[in-house]
Structure 1
Amino acid sequence: MKVTAIRPDDLGAAEIERWRAIQATDPALANPFLAPEFTLGVGRVRPAVRVGVVEDGSDIIAFLPFERGPLGVGHPVGFGLTDLQGVIAPPTLGLNARTLLKGCGLSVWDFDHVLAHQPTFRPYHTVRRVEPIIDLSPGFDVYLEEARRAAPKTHKTIRYKERKLGREVGELRYEFSSADPADLRRLMDWKSDQYTRTGRTDRFARPWIVTLVEHFHRTGFGVLSVLYAGDEPVSAHLGLRNGGVMAGWFPAYDPRFGKYSPGMIGHLRLAAGCAADGITEIFMGRGGKEFKEGLKSREIPIAEGRVARPSLGAGLHWARTTPLNKARDAVLKNPKLYARADRVLKTYARLRGARS
């Protein structure tokens, strides 16, 4: 096995074609976060992005997109922004993970949303979770009927608030794909406001993320959908599309209309729009939101963990990250702790706002 680490823009047409051919061997690899467009896009704004090209003789058998940090600590491309990660390889292909890291010049590869069924990283899982998926392959009407049966209360609430929004604000209209940069700017403003209100780090305060989002929107890899009530835009969603698969990415809404749950209404309209445009799956991202339980069709297993080779960088990385990861996992596993942590963050955000 030979591994060569190259810049994304050094991938030629033959390598991209091979990447897509490998994707076709495993349905989970169709996720947009694992498409070459995502790695190429992030590589435009993050100079440390590389792709490990794995060869067996004259054949390319796998790709590992990664970002190399100090001391050889590696992360998946777009770490913190991705809801699915992994090696681009046929589902039965198991590589020696440490040999793969050595060929990529890495001492550590740290992951938090890796495809759990991939054999290469299975020995290194520390936590397993699931990612919910909306399955639209039977058609939207069939999906909706099954979702209603599984979570009747959720869908009754959505329909009630949908009618109430239409009566009190204006007739609802949904634009599945907007190319208007002003719509994207509005979504980012809404999302920044949400991050501030809830005590989270504002991702759109980082220029490289803004540039990346604008690039994906401009090229069509990012699909921006907007829900209107009359002339008022009330919610929006930017997802990534790879053929018939969409990955949810940045949902946001105008807090003036929060009492109508416009985000939930928007997600249901998004599913209808996707089905009409030939999309058969929507990856919703790792749990933490109750409304996803009322919309999902099925789940796939994902995992968190790290692969390390003996080195100073690996030791320092373990000391810095392991206690924090264990604490975060305890919170995510316990609904009461999760709700309490959410309340603490919101209180902190209010106090921070009052001081400023």
Structure 2
Amino acid sequence: MRVEAFAALTAADLDAWHTLREANPALDSPYFHPGFAAAVHASGRPVHVAVARDGGRPVAFLPHHREGRLLRPVGWPGADFQGPILAAGAGFRPLDLLGNGAAGYAFDHLVEGAPGFERWVVSRRPSPYLDVTGGLAGYLGRASRSGKENMGQARRRAAKAGRELGELRFVAASSDPKALARVVELKRAQYAATGARDFFAGQDRVRLLDGLLRARDPGFSGVLSTLHAGEHLLAAHFGLRSGGVLHWWFPVYDPAFARLSPGWILLRELVAAAPALGIVRVDLGRGEDEYKRRAKTGESVVCQGLVTRNPVRGAAAAALSKARSVARSVRARRKP
């Protein structure tokens, strides 16, 4: 396995990347499309790719960043699905990633069943999704009771917003840079209010979203959806799309209109628009958030762990993961 700069990959390499990904259903998330690695690299954050070749022919790719002696998946900490790009059923040797000063490969959203990684997995968490085949009617036929109830409430609150604030307008795929700037502004305010780490503190992350909004690859792009009532932006979402999969990435709403649950209204509009957009699945990303639990029609599993030859570092990673799991359980029990 040889590590190459993303910019050094040839057109033939990228064609092989596409071929491997398209032949493996486990890699249909937009995070595995080379367009995502390209956008991250273009934002100013260097991307390297570990490439395994067989007789000169690429058989596996793993895009990543290097931080000192640690390797991290491309786009970390904003990459909600991770793993090597390779043919279904092919093998992979994670230890081959190490060397030349790299002592570990840390992952936190590795797709379940990624070949070769099992011994380094220290925890697993659900990653909910919505099957939106058939649009709103199809979704409601598969949704849980709470999902149906919340969608019904969203319909009634949408009507109320229209009466009180002005005509409701939903744009499934906006190209408005001002609306994207508002998404970042609202998201940063949310991070500050909840004490979460500010993903957009680094300007490269803002540049990443700007670049994704401008992306025009027919197989990969950023998707900005907005919901207005009159002059007011109630809610918006910026995500990634590849083929029939949309990844729910940065949803926001204006707290001034929280009483209307605008996030649910936006989600309902997006589900209804799915057939016209060619979307059959919306990945909500890892987490046990209440709205994800209510809205989901199913879930996949993502794994956390550390590939290392050092047993002490491996044990420390396992202990840290367990401590975080306990902390999440405590917070969940304290919620009303």
Q: Would you say same fold, with TM above 0.5?
A: yes
Q: For structure 2, which runs of at least 5 residues remain unmatched after alignment? A: none
Counterpart of 2:198 in structure 1: which amino acid? D
Identity in percent = 36
Q: Return the alpha-carbon distance in structure 2 between the equivalents of residues 322 and 239 of structure 1.
A: 31
What residue is the counterpart of 1:176 in the other structure? Answer: 172
RMSD: 2.2
Counterpart residue type for residue 52 of structure 1: A
Q: 1:254 to 1:339 in 2, by over 3 A?
A: farther
What is aligned with 1:240?
Answer: 240
Cα deviation, 1:271-325, whole Å, max 9, x if unaligned, reads: 2223311111111101221111222222112111111024xxx867975x55543
Q: Could you say which residue in structure 2 is the equivalent of 1:96? A: 93
Letter in 1 for 2:36: F
Partner of 2:331: 337
Tell me the number of residue pairs that the alignment of Structure 1 and Structure 2 aligns.
332
Task: Find the aligned partners of 1:47 and 1:146 in 2 and give their Cα distance.
Answer: 41
Counterpart position of 2:207: 211
- The answer on whether the counterparts of 1:246 and 1:282 sit within 8 Å (CA) in structure 2 is yes
1:346 match: none
2:251 aligned residue: 251
Quote the residue 1:275 is aligned against. 275
CA distance in 2: counterparts of 1:48 and 1:175, whole angstroms: 33
**What TM-score comes out, normalization by structure 2 length?**
0.91
Residue 99 of structure 1 deviates from its aligned partner by 2.2
What are the Cα deviations for residues 239-272 of structure 1, in whole angstroms up to 9, with x where unaligned?
1111221111111111110111111111121222
Partner secondary structure for residue 151 of structure 1: helix
Return the match for 2:187 from 191, 202, 206: 191
Cα deviation for residue 152 of structure 1 reads: 3.5
Question: What TM-score, normalized to structure 1?
Answer: 0.86
From 158, 161, 164, the equivalent of 2:157 is 161
**Alpha-carbon separation, structure 2, partners of 1:47 and 1:130:** 29
Return the alpha-carbon distance in structure 2 between the equivalents of residues 105 and 20 of structure 1: 30
1:292 corresponds to: 292
- Give, in whole Å, the separation in 1 of the partners of 2:223 and 2:287: 22
Which runs of 5 or more residues in structure 1 are unaligned? 344-356
Would you say the 8 A contact 2:97–2:105 is kept in 1? Answer: no
**C-alpha displacement at 1:100, in angstroms?**
3.5
Residue matched to 1:31: 29
CA distance in 1, matches of 2:332, 2:145: 28
Distance 1:217 1:339 in 2: 39
Q: Is the 8 A contact 1:148 1:155 kept in 2?
A: no
Distance 1:54 1:46 in 2: 25
Over residues 17-44 of structure 1, what are the superposed CA-to-partner deviations in whole Å (9 max), with x where a residue is unaligned? 1111111122231211111011111122
Equivalent residues of 2:147, 2:296 under 8 A apart: no
Distance 1:281 1:152, change over 3 A: closer
